[in-house]
Amino acid sequence: MAETALAGLRIVVTRPRDQAGPLSRQIEAHGGTALTFPLLDIAPVPQSAALQLQLERAVRADLLIFISPNAVNYGLALLKMPPPSCRIAAVGQGSARILREHGITEMLVPSDRFDSEGLLALPALQQVAGWKITIFRGDGGRELLGDTLRERGAVVEYLGCYLRSPVALDTLALQAAQPDALTVSSSEAVDHMSDALAEFPALRALPVFAPHPRIAARARERGCGQVIETATGDDGLLRGLVAWAALRKKHD
């Protein structure tokens, strides 16, 4: 069943190019065709004196939080290795997996809801008064995590360790590829995709698979006609695609 669950289906993977491989391979392992159309480009922040000062404060922090797999990869590239005195936290399982690949096995990570709210609900983060906390993330993003930890008495600093920029989407090539479904992995990607597909109603009508309620809500706000919310990460997207494909075949 696994080898043919997505047989005959062409699925668009919009993750940044160097992160599209795992989901693309899973789609193809299930018989589908993965179409790689990245919506965002990811790059490290430029070195600067201000960044160096932030890193010096980070290695003296009580807790380092990594918002995303990109934050882990680019943050650890800057840090080299967090000092043993720093506690480590990851918002999601993808970030936790990459931390383990770097040899970091002790960390705080939610067990069910993989977002800022899930991390903030952990018992270990209820009493943080006086803690120094550095949050590794991209350029910009939600402020809920930092704001809440400050309300609990922590001294919080965001460290932007990577930059996101939109990639020009070749909409004509995408249309020619005749996709059956689109996958998106961030609200920023949804915004860029919606803008690029404004004049392509057939593409905008395709089912959009989103691995988080906030991303799914953004897709609906931006006018995507059929939004399917899945569990988090590549595994969640794949399970959503397989379930949708089975239902689709049943109704054919």
Tens of pLDDT, residues 140-182: 778 999 999 999 999 999 999 999 999 999 999 999 999 999 9
Q: Which residue has the tokens 């949050």?
A: 135
Tens of pLDDT, residues 182-227: 999 999 999 999 999 999 999 999 999 999 999 999 999 999 989 9
In sequence order, what DSSP letters do the residues of 122-177 get, joined into one string? SGGGS--TT-EEEEEEESS---HHHHHHHHTT-EEEEEEEEEEEEPPP-HHHHHHT
pLDDT of 105 strictly over 80: yes
Using alpha carbons, list the distances in angstroms from residue 97 to 118, 160, 193, 205.
17, 21, 28, 34
pLDDT higher at 81 or 90: 90
Let me know the angle formed at the C-alpha of 184 by 34 and 26, rounded to the nearest 5 degrees.
35
| Residue 141, Ramachandran bin (φ over 0: left; ψ between -120 and 50: alpha; else beta) | left
Domains of the chain (ranges, CATH numbers): 10-39+167-251 (3.40.50.10090), 43-164 (3.40.50.10090)
Q: Average pLDDT, stretch 102-116?
A: 89
DSSP SS3 for 182: strand
Identify the sign of the CA torsion 147, 220, 223, 34: positive
Backbone angles phi and psi of 42, in degrees to 5:
-115, 130
pTM of the model: 0.86
Buried residues in 18-52 as b, exposed as e (16+ CB within 10 A)? ebbeebbebbeebbbbbbebbbbebeeeeeeeeee
